[in-house]
Structure 1
Amino acid sequence: MKRSIITLFVLLGALTACERYDADDHKFDNVVYLNVSQTSPVQLATFSNNRATYDCTLQAALAYPADGDVQVSLAVDPSLVADYNARYGTQWPMLDAKYYTLSTETATIPAGRTTSEAITLQLHELMGEGEEQTGALPIDATYLVPVRISGASIDVLGGSDVAWYVVKRSSAITVAAQLGEGNWINFPTLDKYGANSSAWNGLTAMTYEALIYIDEFATKDSEDLPVNISSVMGVEQYLLLRIGDTNFERQQLQFDGSGSGSQFGKFPGKDATKNLEAGRWYHVACTYDQTTRTVRVYVDGQIQSEETGVGISSPSKKNQINLAMRALYDLWNSASETEKPQYETEDTGYNKLGDAYQFFIGKSYDEKRPLNGKIAEARVWSVARTPEQIWENMYNVENPADNPTLLGYWKFNEGAGNTVKDYSMYGNDGVAETDIVWPSGIEIPKINETEE
């Protein structure tokens, strides 16, 4: 039976990939199923505890278009909770009916079409009432809402007629962006001189940090070309946080400080014991301070690698850290002819920065070095954060717009769209190169919290 269902879905995929359906394509009887259950009947509905509502959409679907309208009945079926718990070894209860509404109990798939209009399972009243949140859905508890096809005017495909929604109002971070090959985050305002970019230059210390989840440490791209780097964030050949490198461990975190503002090179050295794993969340961070000449790399809030007495030996204006170099070029380029010479000195040289490498998230030298994973809570600071600060603030920064040393703060909590808000006072919103994928079911555990 399992093999038959798999074979059917292979055929379904082939049919739905085509724009035309010929009679010869109909090698089996038409059936109706839930589109969300085509690959898995389990649908994760995990959301932040500050959301009052959460919508889950689904459709009734056909293997191929029918000659006439197909009528489908749908229902929330509490009797299926026991089946789920027996199958998956859980003990989750049915969600109280006051927290959900199915937008319709009937759907029509019009003749010549393969899907119905969207049906919504809306979760509501999640935050209860008033400041006390009276009657709110409990935080970090898990519930089930089984939705099934209860009847149809044609045969129903067993095994894909039920969607079990696993509902959780979580205290964890529940939104992150997926960045892969051909997609990264640009920062256009950092290329223009002004209030947005000026604080990014003339630094003597810095910190990068982010939450990342690498899906796969790819060694080849879609064109079968070699890949040995996963870019997290930073400026290529200057100050860049990445994973892997040529003649380096593919899964090891590396902080490249090859630029004039750091000069400590690639840190740390090759060490397979420091490799990261695919398929899990990490908080990663790196810091450099010219004054103490100290470089550090952190993993999950702990110092993984540290060295002192490296990099800049004599800090000066010439070797200050500039993370928005094209903004300095813009300052020179927009200056009057009488003002330009002051920006062309040995200490400035802003006229030479028109093609300087830019700050990106999920990209470095070129688009062949993608993150290939998920990211949240990305930040840039103008100070070298202390170990205590790194540990305490891995998952959130309070009052970010009040801290002038927080140069950029992208929570990646939008859940939709291609613009990523900067929560710092500088407002350098990120813009995705292509459409961002916002995966469902995200839940990032907070390892720095302990129960009292």
Structure 2
Amino acid sequence: GNMTIMGREGTLILRIGDTGGGIDRDLLQIAGSKHFYTQQRLTTGKWYHVAFTYDQPTGRAVLYIDGEKAAESVWDTPQFDLSDFFIGKIAGFMWGERPFYGKMSEVRMWTVARTANQIKQNMLNVDPASEGLMFYYKLNGTDQFKGEDGKWYTRDASNHGMNGLSNAYGDNTSELRYVTLDSPVAIN
């Protein structure tokens, strides 16, 4: 009914549905100080490229599905703090963790709002050295490593200073779970 893709609870979250809040379970939503969602329903068993841009100076917030604008709003979200930023669920949240029941092939975060053309041109590939790329997790299983603390992490392919993504499941003492696909991800 409510699956968190990523974000920081109370500030800005990208999620699918919020049945308790009146949003159908197959609709992509941005929630935080305001809420907006797409009209396009997501279909189980299909790959999508999902992008969200937020330009803080103008407040323009846009959701894209497969490179096309799917919803837009204007926000006044404060500076984004990554201290409690989660991918795949909101750990320790008072109303439940709301895990994402799906697969992700990669996750990217930028320090600049990407243009519609940049999003469309880079849906399946991006140069890890791109300016403004804050972190880039390929989630293919080849970049995971065991840290000195004994926990498992995924290496940031951008090498822009993020020290790995902590395993969002359990206590991080086991390897992250990856699924090998029969064929590469394709966006139609």
Q: TM-score range by the shorter chain?
A: 0.7 to 0.9
In structure 1, the partner of 2:35 is 266
Distance 1:444 1:249, change over 3 A: farther
Distance 1:419 1:443, change over 3 A: farther
1:4-403 counterparts in 2 under 5 A? 228-245=1-18, 246=20, 247-258=22-33, 265-268=34-37, 273-307=39-73, 310-312=74-76, 320-324=78-82, 326=83, 358-364=84-90, 366=93, 368-398=97-127, 400-401=128-129, 403=131
Q: Any conservation in 2 of the 1:255–1:267 contact (CA below 8 Å)?
A: yes
Return the offset for 1:295. Answer: 1.2
Q: C-alpha separation between the residues in 2 aligned to 1:381 and 1:295?
A: 14
The structure in which a higher percent of residues are strand is 2
- What is the SS of the residue equivalent to 2:178? coil
Q: Any conservation in 2 of the 1:376–1:411 contact (CA below 8 Å)?
A: yes
In structure 2, the partner of 1:414 is 141
Which stretch of structure 1 is more off in the superposition, 297-306 or 285-294? 285-294
Return the offset for 1:422. Answer: 0.7
- What is the SS of the residue equivalent to 1:391? helix
Alignment: residue pair count: 170
Distance 1:438 1:290, change over 3 A: closer
Greater relative CO, 1 or 2 (CA 8 Å, sep 6+) = 1
Q: C-alpha separation between the residues in 2 aligned to 1:410 and 1:233?
A: 13
Q: Any conservation in 2 of the 1:252–1:276 contact (CA below 8 Å)?
A: yes
- What is the SS of the residue equivalent to 2:48? strand
The amino acid of 1:387's aligned partner reads: A
Q: C-alpha separation between the residues in 1 aligned to 2:80 and 2:72?
A: 23
**Structure 1 unpaired stretches of 5+:** 1-227, 259-264, 313-318, 327-357
Return the offset for 1:287. Answer: 1.0
In structure 1, the partner of 2:165 is 430
TM-score w.r.t. length of structure 2: 0.80
Q: C-alpha separation between the residues in 2 aligned to 1:301 and 1:291?
A: 23
Distance 1:442 1:360, change over 3 A: farther
4+ residue stretches of structure 1 with deviation over 6 A? none
Distance 1:447 1:322, change over 3 A: closer
Distance 1:359 1:293, change over 3 A: same
Q: Does 1:441 align with 2:181?
A: yes
Distance 1:304 1:444, change over 3 A: farther
Write the deviation string for residues 225-275 of structure 1: whole angstroms up to 9, x where unpaired: xxx2111111111111100112111110001132xxxxxx0112xx6x421
Distance 1:419 1:291, change over 3 A: same
Q: C-alpha separation between the residues in 1 aligned to 2:78 and 2:32?
A: 13
Q: C-alpha separation between the residues in 2 aligned to 1:229 and 1:320?
A: 24
**Structure 2 unpaired stretches of 5+:** 146-151
The structure in which a higher percent of residues are helix is 1
Q: Any conservation in 2 of the 1:257–1:267 contact (CA below 8 Å)?
A: no
- What is the SS of the residue equivalent to 1:250? strand
Q: C-alpha separation between the residues in 1 aligned to 2:182 and 2:4?
A: 21
TM-score w.r.t. length of structure 1: 0.35
Q: C-alpha separation between the residues in 1 aligned to 2:184 and 2:5?
A: 18
- What is the SS of the residue equivalent to 1:234? strand
Distance 1:402 1:295, change over 3 A: closer
Return the offset for 1:442. Answer: 4.2
Return the offset for 1:441. Answer: 2.9
- Identity between Structure 1 and Structure 2 (%): 38
Q: C-alpha separation between the residues in 1 aligned to 2:78 and 2:102?
A: 32
Return the offset for 1:423. Answer: 1.5
Greater C-alpha radius of gyration:
1
- What is the SS of the residue equivalent to 2:104? strand
RMSD: 2.2
Q: Any conservation in 1 of the 2:105–2:185 contact (CA below 8 Å)?
A: no
The amino acid of 2:129's aligned partner reads: A
